[in-house]
């Protein structure tokens, strides 16, 4: 399931985050420092030093916004979230086709985190740069994603994906991975559709007994599917 979630960050939050990571003294490093063997050969961008104090502040801002966003919770059913990373692409920079590694080590605890879902949170407007399109490739073709600042896209970490070369301006984004309570993408999609339908029915004043039955079905499915 690929899903876009609008306004995970407000414009004020985007501005504050960009001011933090674009500070003149902020550390940027070669993006290959967090790439696996496959990704390193096709990755050409810059990445904010994830162990810096400024990165810890930026990560906390994003994680707080995610925890408060019902759309993200419903779609991802997060168990653990890898501390968000930040990258930028200038002219000529790109990230070739690759699949994200299945396991990440938490940079602070050393715990192993299974990457069920990949996420990109856009931090500047599409008109700020040319190229730099996230392309997600699956059995239904290639999906081009270039969202407004503050919007998020979630997609299965099993997907082949790439960022096309930037030809003008600068692309700034946040990316991270989620270990979901529901490991299987098909089951996660069913749970999301059911939860979305329940919320819509609540807004229409539909039959209360029917909604309660659906809510029960939703939670009973999670009891069957959740792995921790």
Second-level CATH architecture of 185-225: Irregular (4.10)
pLDDT at res. 37: 59
What does the mean pLDDT of the chain come to?
A: 94
Q: What does the domain layout of the chain look like in residue ranges?
A: 3-180, 185-225
pLDDT at res. 22: 85
| Residue segments in the chain with a per-residue pLDDT below the cut of 70 | 24, 35-40
- Please classify residue 171 by burial: count the beta carbons closer than 10 Å to its beta carbon, then call 0-12 exposed, 13-18 middle and 19+ buried: buried
pTM: 0.94
pLDDT at res. 197: 97
pLDDT at res. 115: 98
Q: In CATH, which of 3.30.479.10, 3.90.226.30, 2.60.120.620, 3.60.20.10 is domain 3-180?
A: 2.60.120.620
pLDDT at res. 32: 78
Secondary structure E strands in 68-195: 78-81, 85-89, 94-98, 103-105, 112-114, 117-122, 129-131, 134-138, 141-145, 152-156, 160-163, 166-169, 171-180
Phi/psi at 7 (5° precision):
55, 45
**Among 119, 21, 106, 35, CA closest to 75:** 119
């Amino acid at each position: 399931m690929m899903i876009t979630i609008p306004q995970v960050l407000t414009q004020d939050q985007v501005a504050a985050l960009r001011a933090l990571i674009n500070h003149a003294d902020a550390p940027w490093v070669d993006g290959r420092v967090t790439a696996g063997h496959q990704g390193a050969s096709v990755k050409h961008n810059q990445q904010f030093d994830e162990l810096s104090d400024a990165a810890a502040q930026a990560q906390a801002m994003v994680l707080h916004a995610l925890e408060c966003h019902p759309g993200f919770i419903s779609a991802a059913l997060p168990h653990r979230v890898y501390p968000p990373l930040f990258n930028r692409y200038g002219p000529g920079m790109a990230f070739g086709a690759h699949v994200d590694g299945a396991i990440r080590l938490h940079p602070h605890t050393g715990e192993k985190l299974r990457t069920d879902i990949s996420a990109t949170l856009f931090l500047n407007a599409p008109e700020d740069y040319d190229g730099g399109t996230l392309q997600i490739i699956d059995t239904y073709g290639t999906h081009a994603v270039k969202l407004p600042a503050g919007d998020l896209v979630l997609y299965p970490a099993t997907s082949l994906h790439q960022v096309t070369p930037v030809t003008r301006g600068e692309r700034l984004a946040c990316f991270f991975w989620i270990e979901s309570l529901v490991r299987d993408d098909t089951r996660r999609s069913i749970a999301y559709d059911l939860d979305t339908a329940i919320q819509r029915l609540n807004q229409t004043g539909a039959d209360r007994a029917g909604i309660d039955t659906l809510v029960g079905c939703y939670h009973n499915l999670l009891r069957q599917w959740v792995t921790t």
